[in-house]
Amino acid sequence: MKNSNILVIGAGISGISASLDLAEQGYRVILVEKDSTIGGRMAQLDKTFPTLDCSICILAPKMVEVARHPNIKLFTYSEVYEVSGSMGNFTVKILKKARYVNEEKCTGCGDCATICPVRGLPNKFDEGLKYNHAAYISFPSAVPSVYLIDKEKCLYLNYGICALCAKNCGAEAIDFTQKDEVLEYNVASIIVATGFDLIDPSILARYHYGEYKNVITGMKFERLLCASGPTVGELIRPSDGKHVKNIAFIACVGSRNVNICAYCSKFCCMYMVKEAVVAKEHAPEISPTIFFNDTRTIGKNQEEFIERAKDEYGVKYNRGIPGDIREDPLTQDLIVKYANLDTGEVEEKIFDMVILSNAVIPRRDAGHLAKILGIEQNDFGFFKTENSLEDLKSTIPGIYITGSCQSPDDIPNSVAKASGASSLAAQHAVQIPEEEIVIELPPLKYVSPFDEPRIGVFVCNCGVNIAGYMDNEEIVEYLKTLPNVVFAMNNKYSCSEQTQQIIKDKIIEENLNRVIVAACTPRTHESLFQNTLREVGLNPYLFNFVSIRELDSWVHMKDKPKATDKAKDLIRMGIARARNLKPEFKIKGDVIPEALVIGGGIAGMSAALEIAKSGFKVHLVEKMDKLGGQLNLIYKINFDRIDSMEFISKFIKGIKEQKNINTYLSSNIVNVKGSIGDFSIKIEDLEKNTSKIRVGAIIVATGASEYKPTDWYNYGKDPRVFTQLELSEKLRNNELTDGETLVFIHCVGSRQETGRSYCSLICCSESIRHALYVKENYPNSNIFVLYRDIRVGTEEEQYYWKAREDINYLRFSEYPELDFNDDKITVRVHDMLTQINLHIKADKVVLSTPLIPDEKNKQLAELLKVPLDKNGFFFEAHIKLRPFDFATDGIFLCGTAHGPKGIADSISQGRATASHALIPLIAGVVENEPIISNVNPALCIGCNRCAEVCSFGAIGVPMDSSKMISEVNPLLCKGCGDCAAECPADAIKMSHFSNEQVEPMIVEAVRGDFVDERPRIVAFLCNWCSYAGADMCGVSRFQYPTNVRPIRVMCSGRIPKSFILQAFLEGADGVFIGGCHIGDCHYIAGNHDALRRVNEIKNVIAKLGIDPERFRLEWISASEGKIFAEVMNEFINEVKELGPLSPEVKA
C-alpha cells in the first residue's frame, strides 16, 4: 500500500521550502524541528545578499504558511530518534519534548515571561547577546507563537516554588504536568534538512575570541545589525557600548585549514561583504575592511555586489589574512597585524571591532542522526551523496538531503535543492486520498450588496495585554451606539476555542453579515477568524480585523484615555470598511495536465524526467539535433572525472524509456499564448513543420555557452591560443605534446569593468581540473596558471591544493600581455605573489572564458513575456526565495539559462522546477485569492498604463483585440493594486481593498468625535513591510504618541494620489506612507510606483497651500520596529510644530 506521508527533518529555509512544495502537491508532510520555532538560520539574519532584502520580511510569510497549511503536521521542539523500514515504508519515532505550555491554549501574549523571576538566560536566537526569562519565546515572530519553559532553570519544575507564570496566564496555558511524548508515523520517504553549525572561533587562539570582548562572530554581528536585535540596530561594541567606526572582517577562520576544516565554507565571503555594506548603510562614518585570501562568489549578481561594495560603499578589501590581534588594554581597541599581498608588505591597523567568519561545520549531532537514518557522512561530516553530480540523494534510497547539511550553501541554492529533493521524495508517495481531505462545510449564506449591514464586533482583552491599557467596557458601550452595529462584546481571549464558538453562535443568533474582531494583528490571526466565519456559512471576506494591540495598547502603555479613544477610532474605521465589504470567491482555472520543457540539456532533461515519472506528459523541445547540450562538449566531468559521454547517454536512455516524454529535436518555439494552466504553444522544426500543443506549465532550460573571445589575445587567428572547452576536446583526442609550456589565463571576458561584469563561477574548477589532467598525462609539461581569485566549491578546495603542489600559480591584477613575434608566445605578466615581472615563453595559451547567455533568449523572453537580466540571462522572480520561478505563474527556469552554474546545481534546479510545475498539474486546477483587479469596461480608455506598472503580466489591453479595453487575467493577478492606483480613468477596482472600502476609513480616521486630538495623522502602511514593522514596534513595546491612524493596504503601490488628497481635504494634519525598502517590494516594484506618485503629488499639495512637511514617505522593513517608533515620534512632532491644518485650506 502506498503511503501519503513524507517526513521532513529540519525547518530552516530548506525544510520549509521542501514542506510547502510537497504539501501543495497534495502529500502529507510531517515536519520535525528541534528548535521551539521554525525559520532556522535565515530568521536570524538581518539582510540577505546581494539585494539586501530584509531576511525576516521575506521569510515570515513562508513560516506562517507552514503553520497554517492543512497538509503539514508541524512538530517543533521535537526530534526524530528512531527510523526503521525502507524506501516507501519507513517507520519513524518522534520525541516531542514538553514545553510545559499547552500549545492549543497559548495565545503568545507573553504574560508568563513578563512575570517570570528567573532572568538573564542567554538567548540562543540572539547569539547570547540578549537575555531570556525561564518562560520565553525564541523571538517575537516565532512560529508557532507559543511560549515554552526552560526545564533546567524553572523554579517550579526544579524546586516546586514560584509558578507565578501559571497564576499570571489568563489563558490557563501553563501545564507543569506535561510530559515528553512519543509519536510514531509511517512515511514513504524522508528529506533531511538539518542545516549547519559554526565552529567556535576560540580554537584559533591568535584571534582571542572569548577573551577580547570586541572580537565577535559574523552571526553575532548579524544580530547587532538587526533592528529587532539586542541593540535595536545600534552598532555598538560589547566592551564599552561605544559606536564603532573602524571594523575589520576576517575570512577563513577555521576553514580552508588543513587541521580544522579542510574545505571552503562557501558563503562567508558574501555575508562579510553584505554585513560591511549594511553596516555602512547604518552609519556612513563606519569604515569596514575585509581581510581575505580569495573572494568567492557563489551565485548570480554577487560579483557585481562586491564591486559595488568597493566603489559605492567604500568597503576596503585587503588580500592577506591577519595572523595576530592584540588588544589595547586601556581602550579595548584591537591592533590587527596583516600582510598586504598586493604590495607584499606587512602592515598594522587599529580597529574598534573585529568580526570573524568562523567556519561552517556539520551539525554537532550530524553523526548521531546519520546513525539513526543509516546514511553515510563524507570526510568532513556532511551527509554524503553518490558522486559530485548528485546533491540530493543520500546513500540510502528514499532518503534525500538538502541545504547546508549536505554542503554549505546559500539561500537560493538551498531553496532549489529543497524543491529538487521534494520532487524526488514525492516519487515514493501517493497524494492524500480525496476522502481524507474533504471537510464538510455548510453552504454559504447569500449576502446581497443591498442587504443592510448587520455588524458584530468582538473586542479582545488579550488577558491584560489590551484591557490593561485601555477601557474595553467603555469601548464596547461606544460601539453599540454606532450605526449598523447590532452586537458588540468583550472577550478575554478572542483566539480561544471558546470565543470562536461564541462568534459562531452570535453570527447565527444575531443574523450577522459582517464580523469585526479588534485584537492583535491580521498578519497572524486574520485567517483563523475567516475560517470561523466560513464554518457557519458566512463568506470569509465579510470579516474585518482591527489591530488594537500592536498598533495601540502596546505602543501607548502610559496613556489609557487616549489609547481608549484611539481604539474607538480604529474600530470605527474598521466598521466603515466592513459596511462595504463584499463576498469574494476564489478564482479557479483548469489545468492541462501536460508540460513543456524548452531545452534538452542536463537541466531540461532532469526537469522532464521528474515530471514524466509523476505520470504527466512532457514535451521536450531541443534546438540542436541531439539531447545533452553543453555536456556533449565536455570530456570528463568534475574532479571525480565522470565520463560525460557515458553519463549523458545513460540520461538520454532514461528519457527515451519514458513513454510520457515527447522529444522534438532541431525545433524551436515560435508562438506562445495563454497563461498558467492553459498555454497554447507552436513548435517549428528545421523543415518549418509545425506542431501545436497545449500545456499547463512551461520550463525554460535553454542553457548557455562558452564565450569565444575573438577580441582577446589573437584568439581565432593563432591556433596556439584556445579556450578551456577546446582544451577539453584536445584532451579527449590526446592532441597535446609532452614537454610543452602551457599558460592558463583566467577571467578572459568575465569580471570586466565594462561589458561582462559577472563571474562565471565554474571556470576556476575547470582550469584546475584541466591543469591536473595535463600534468598527469603529460608529466613533463610546465604549466603557469595566471589567476585573479581562485573560486572553487566546498570540497573542490582539496583539488586546488593538490594542483598548487606541482603547478605554478601566479596572481595578476593587470591582465597579461601576449607577444606573438617569436616561434613561442611570450606572456608578460606581473605576479603579485612574488612581486616580479615574468616573461613566459609559452607553447600554448589556454583562456578561461565565461558562460554567456543564448542570443535567442531575447526572442523567447518576448514570446513568454518574461524578463532578462542585464547580462542577458533569464531573470527570476526573486533572487533569494524564488530562484527558479518567473514572476509570471506557470513558467519556471532552470540551469545555465538562469546564470552560470555547475552540473550538479543544474540537475538540482531542473528537478526543482519539476516540483513547482507539478503543483498545478497535480491539482488539476489553479486557484487564486480573490484580492484582484477588476476593469470596468465602461470607464477604460485603453491607455494601457495598467500594463506598464504590472510586474506580473496580469493586466493590459490585448494586442489582438480591436476593443482597446484592458483585461485582467484573474489567475495571474497578485492583488497589489498598483494598476488601480495608476488608472487615470478610475476604471480599475481592487477587490477587498477598493476605493469604496478604503475611502470611508480615511473619513473616519480624521473625524475623531470625542477628544479633539491634534495633530491627526493618517498613515497608509503596506502589509508586508511597514505594517509588519509597526507590528514589530508593538511587540517590542516601543512607545510613540497616539496621533496616528493607520490604514493597511497590500502594497504602497496601491495608494493613489486621491487617497492622499482626500486625507488632507477631510482634515488630516499629516499623511504618512510606509512601504518596503526599494528592492524589497513583495510585488517586485510597487514601491517604485509609490515613490513616483508621491513625487508627483508633492507639487499639488504645495499648490493647495499645504506645507509639504506634512506629508512623508518612508521605507520601513518588518524588522525595523524601533525605526517605526522613531519615525512616528519625529513626524508627529514635526506636524505638531506646524500646528493644525488651517480651515481655509480644507475648504
Partner 1 sequence: MAKNQDIIKSTDLMSDLRYQITNQIEGKSLLACIQCGVCSSGCTVSQYIDLQPHRVVACLLLGLKDKVLNSNAIWYCSLCHRCTERCPKSVDFSFILALVRNMAVKEGYIPPEYEVSINAVLQHGFTVPYSGDMKKTIDRNRAKFGLPEIIPPKLDELIFIVKETGLEKTLEDAKKKKKRG
Residues of this chain that interact with partner 1 (CB under 8 A) are 206, 252, 256-260, 293, 319-324, 337-341, 344-346, 741, 782, 784, 800-801, 804-806, 808-811, 813-814, 817, 828, 830-831, 833-842
- Least distance to partner 1 from the beta carbon of 356, Å? 14
Nearer to partner 1, 341 or 941 (CB): 341
- Least distance to partner 1 from the beta carbon of 801, Å? 7
Nearer to partner 1, 800 or 993 (CB): 800
- Burial class from Cβ neighbours inside 10 Å (0-12, 13-18, 19+) for residue 1139 reads exposed
DSSP 281-326: HH-TT-EEEEEESS----STTHHHHHHHHHHTS--EEEES---EEE
Nearer to partner 1, 371 or 839 (CB): 839
Count Cα neighbours of 742 within 13 Å in the Cβ-side half-sphere: 25
CB atoms closer than 10 angstroms to residue 806: 12
Nearer to partner 1, 805 or 855 (CB): 805
- Least distance to partner 1 from the beta carbon of 359, Å? 11
Nearer to partner 1, 670 or 833 (CB): 833
Nearer to partner 1, 98 or 260 (CB): 260
- Least distance to partner 1 from the beta carbon of 146, Å? 44
Distance (Å, whole) CA 216 – CA 354? 6
Q: What cell was used for 1001?
A: 476609513
- Least distance to partner 1 from the beta carbon of 809, Å? 8
- Least distance to partner 1 from the beta carbon of 320, Å? 3
Distance (Å, whole) CA 582 – CA 246? 57
- Least distance to partner 1 from the beta carbon of 209, Å? 15
Nearer to partner 1, 697 or 792 (CB): 792
Nearer to partner 1, 313 or 820 (CB): 820
- Least distance to partner 1 from the beta carbon of 314, Å? 23
Q: What cell was used for 389?
A: 553530480
Q: Is the peptide bond before 50 cis (omega within 30 degrees of 0)?
A: yes
Distance (Å, whole) CA 684 – CA 701? 18
Nearer to partner 1, 69 or 337 (CB): 337
- Least distance to partner 1 from the beta carbon of 946, Å? 56
Ramachandran assignment for 747, one of left (phi > 0), alpha (psi -120 to 50 degrees), beta (any other): left
Distance (Å, whole) CA 56 – CA 523? 14
CB contact at 8 A, 43 and 411 = no
CB contact at 8 A, 209 and 28 = no
Quick one: angle between helices 763-777 and 724-732, nearest 10? 30
CB contact set of 58 (below 8 Å; sequence gap of 6+) = 48, 878, 880, 881, 1080
Nearer to partner 1, 666 or 808 (CB): 808
Nearer to partner 1, 307 or 806 (CB): 806
Q: What cell was used for 1110?
A: 506634512
SS3 content of the chain, % helix, strand, coil (to 5): 30, 25, 45
Nearer to partner 1, 80 or 786 (CB): 786
Distance (Å, whole) CA 825 – CA 831? 18
Distance (Å, whole) CA 135 – CA 156? 11
452: which DSSP letter?
A: P
The residue among 776, 847, 841 whose CA lies nearest residue 805 is 776
Distance (Å, whole) CA 662 – CA 658? 9
- Least distance to partner 1 from the beta carbon of 345, Å? 7
H helix or E strand, kind and range, residue 43: helix 40-44
Q: What cell was used for 511?
A: 443574523
Distance (Å, whole) CA 911 – CA 889? 18
- Least distance to partner 1 from the beta carbon of 771, Å? 14
CB contact at 8 A, 78 and 95 = yes
- Least distance to partner 1 from the beta carbon of 244, Å? 22
Nearer to partner 1, 257 or 527 (CB): 257
- Calculate the dihedral angle through the C-alpha atoms of 798, 804, 806, 807, rounding to the nearest 10 degrees: 130
Nearer to partner 1, 114 or 257 (CB): 257
Cell numbers 535595536 correspond to: 232
- Least distance to partner 1 from the beta carbon of 354, Å? 13
CB contact at 8 A, 1079 and 1051 = no
CB contact at 8 A, 494 and 519 = yes
